[in-house]
Structure 1
Amino acid sequence: MNESHKVYIALGSNKGDRLKHLQDAVDLIFRRIGKINSFSRVYNTPALGFDEDASTEDFYNGCIFIETHFSAEEVMQQLLTIETELGRTRHSSTGYESRTIDLDVIFYDDEVMDSEFITTPHPQMHKRKFVLQPLHDIAPKVMHPKFEKSVLQLLETCQDDSEIEPINIWLKNPMKQFGFGSHNYIAIEGNIGAGKTSLANQISNDFNAKLILERFADNPFLPKFYEEPQRYAFTLEMSFLADRYQQISDDLSQLDLFKDFMVSDYDIYKSLIFSKITLPEDEFRLYRKLFYLMYKDIAKPDLYVYLYQNTERLQANIKKRGRDYEQNIENDYLEKINSGYLEFLKNQTELNVKIIDISDLDFVENREDYLWILEEISGKDV
């Protein structure tokens, strides 16, 4: 996935149900472009530049700060599409006209660009109090990369003397509708290459969750196991048993006051699932006894999410991420793991389980797929 970019977007409407148009635009930006981090207040502002004889409503204006993986041109294209969907019609005349929605990129990171499609920072922002005031709400210290002045400084020196009045209604962040704050600990599980680490990372970033990632990459026995599974199976499973116990004990016991909940890319029961596949029966019985002795007092997740992917997709993901020691994993082994998880979950009564088939989805590259998974996890249709 491409790196995350910080984008400030100005919103305005002076036609029809102005507040609804702003909220509809916010909802579509969230769904199409990226995570919304903060909102300004909504301001009532005069319609500047219009024909004085024309009857025009005041504008409602605001600003939002988002993070996205799209390029500046892609963001602009998405905003133009959203404007069209919300009823804005652009005419060829050069005069000002009322519009259901107006969306402009103000800052895209600290980049300075002037192309046929987008200019950033917005070339008129420093002259417009209806942009600077809401932008100041969320980014007073952000520097204009050309003028080398902060938003606060630009607002203080702006010659626009228009009256800007805040209204007592705030725009709503669509992210809040998922309700992840009701959970204390979510475990994301799945087969090799299912995408559990990627999803845990995204949820952690979007919902302010403490992230717990399995430290499998440091295990020296893992490459050896894939080369000689019979020889190294017990050694590998025992090392995972000890490592997972130490990590999960440490992470669950360390309260982070600045995080809303915890999300992990594994659950302790995966030790039993994998060991049942890799170990002979007598070794598995011994392993299971040790497992229950060690983990009897470990806290369990209050939501257990299993990401199911078919074998073909798993192999494609494994090839794509390119870990040398995984490249010769056979289909039969992946199918046994899937069967082991599903059998375990079918008989599980202690965990709140959600099984989600993502075989036809790409939630890393496609934001709509990611949001669909969040809806499945939260049980909310957003």
Structure 2
Amino acid sequence: MKNIHSNHNHKTFIALGSNLGDRKQHLLDASRRMEQRLGLIISTASVYEVPAAGFTGGDFLNTCILVNTRKNAQETIAILQQIERDMGRVPRTGKNYEDRVIDLDIVLFDDQVITTPDLQIPHPRMHERNFVLQPLVDIAYKVIHPILNKSMAELSSTLEPLEKMVDFEIPLSRKRYPIQDLNFIAVEGNIGSGKTSLTHKLSEDFNAKQVLERFADNPFLPLFYKDKERYSFPLEMSFLADRYQQLSDEVAQQDLFKEFTIADYYVIKSLIFSKITLEKEEYSLYKRLFNMMYKELVKPDLYVYLYQTEERLLENIKKRGRDYEQNIEASYLSKIQQGYAEFIRSQQELKVKVIDVTDLDFVNNQEDYLKVLEKILED
């Protein structure tokens, strides 16, 4: 398995157990560490008190959680084992099971089947253990075992049910970072700032309707980068028309199965870019048309601007490798940056949040992602 990060979330079901010390606190500590290093906690099962199996020891508290992560399975198990060590778990001294402060196991990882000397997914004995299956049924009863081809509910029905449930729960990440309370969020930024990547992550983690700018379908964009003077006005007009139509259609219409809407742009970028690219007379006409359209659009509850330095933006642009962007100069990015700064300083209608992400890798680094979430929710 290649050691690479995915560009989408893996649904990772993890079993937690503890039978030493303050068991509830250990479960809380482990879940918080997973949230910080692995991914957001999307679902949590009930917590059950279960006698130790296979050895003489204190009763366990057992549960399961669903974590969204962009780590692959090998990276995930390495993180879980490091969390166990950090929390004081020591290696087994013999072949028999022993008491433990915390026990973390990957039960399911999407629908993948993995067999290596260090990792087996699905967990090879999960279908035999009611202390794994019953909590799993709480949050994954319809999920199909990729080898046995039965649902978790079907597998659990063959085992003796657990009876002792504990009045205790692990909090969901959405309670700590309740961005779903906002109805419409617009994420903006300069070219290469990461606005689409952040929009995609937030939509996956918080069950949001995602509205992405359709710039790739614009036939004028490659022509503009070759001949700005000739194609500036048709490019800006086509962008304005498309952005207005998309925001009118997709933001105004709520999706019953999504909790809020998040877009990787807002129509205000049309005014910012056109002021840079158009001649004075063209911009005057363009602005009149823009103002007529702008009045009719739904306004975001929060407008997030991702700031990065021009140097970092050029690095990002080079990495993603779009041919028509490779000749973009720092001076052009600086003008865009100035345009956004002027808009933000003069803005009185929208609630604006500026986040400096120059030194943050919120796609691959979970701690950086949580910093961005905290910034979004700051008063």
Q: With structure 1 as the length reference, what TM-score do the two structures score?
A: 0.92
Within 5 Å, give how 1:63-78 maps onto structure 2.
63-78=64-79
How far apart are the structure 2 equivalents of 1:17 and 1:245? 56
1:313 aligns with 2:312: yes
Tell me the equivalent position of 1:352: 351
Contact 2:42 2:173 in 1 (8 A): no
1:173-184 pair list within 5 angstroms: 173-184=172-183
State yes or no: 1:127 paired with 2:155: no
Tell me the distance in 1 between the aligned counterparts of 2:227 and 2:54.
75
Corresponding residue for residue 261 of structure 1: 260
Moved more, 316-325 or 141-150: 141-150
Range with greater deviation from structure 2 (118-127 or 308-317): 118-127
Give unpaired runs (5+ residues) of structure 1. Answer: none
The separation in 1 between residues aligned to 2:162 and 2:196, in whole angstroms, is 50
Return 303-312 or 114-123, whichever deviates more. 114-123
**Are residue 6 (structure 1) and residue 11 (structure 2) matched?**
yes
Name the CA distance, whole Å, in 2 between partners of 1:41 and 1:255. Answer: 32
Question: Aligned residues: percent identity?
Answer: 54
Contact 2:112 2:146 in 1 (8 A): yes
Cα distance change of structure 1 residues 114 and 258 upon mapping to structure 2, 3 Å threshold = closer
Match of 1:21 in 2: 26
Residue pair 1:188, 1:306 contacting (<8 A) in 2 also: yes
Structure 1 counterpart of 2:48? 43
Alignment TM-score, normalising by the size of structure 2: 0.93
Q: How far is the alpha carbon of 1:317 from its aligned partner?
A: 1.2
1:83 aligns with 2:84: yes
Cα pair 2:134 2:162 within 8 Å, conserved: no
SS at match of 1:157: coil
Aligned residue number for residue 169 of structure 1: 168
**Superposed displacement of residue 45, structure 1:** 0.6
CA RMSD of aligned residues (A): 1.8
Q: Is the 8 A contact 1:46 1:162 kept in 2?
A: no
Offset from partner CA, 1:219-276 (integer Å, 9 cap, x none)? 1111111111111111111111211111111122212222211111111111111111
Q: 1:291 to 1:110 in 2, by over 3 A?
A: closer
**Aligned counterparts, 1:1-382, within 5 A:** 1-2=5-6, 3-51=8-56, 56-158=57-159, 164-379=163-378
Q: Deviation above 6 Å: which 4+ runs of structure 1? A: none
Structure 2 CA distance for aligned equivalents of residues 279 and 371 of structure 1: 39
Matched AA of 2:50 = T
In the alignment, is the contact (CA less than 8 A) between 1:40 and 1:62 conserved in 2?
yes
Change (3 A) 1:15 1:308: same
Give, in whole Å, the separation in 2 of the partners of 1:125 and 1:38. Answer: 19
For residues 124-147 of structure 1, the C-alpha deviation after alignment (integer angstroms, 9 at most, x for no partner) is 223322112112222233333343
Offset at residue 162 of structure 1 (A): 7.9
Counterpart-to-counterpart distance in 1, 2:113 and 2:48: 28
C-alpha separation between the residues in 2 aligned to 1:212 and 1:139?
Answer: 28
Task: Tell me how far apart the structure 1 counterparts of residues 348 and 248 of structure 2 sit (CA, whole Å).
Answer: 23
Partner SS, residue 157 of structure 2: helix
Count of aligned pairs:
374
Tell me, yes or no, if the aligned pair for 2:233 and 2:282 is still in contact at 8 Å.
Answer: yes
Q: Select between 75-84 and 110-119 the one with higher mean Cα deviation.
A: 110-119
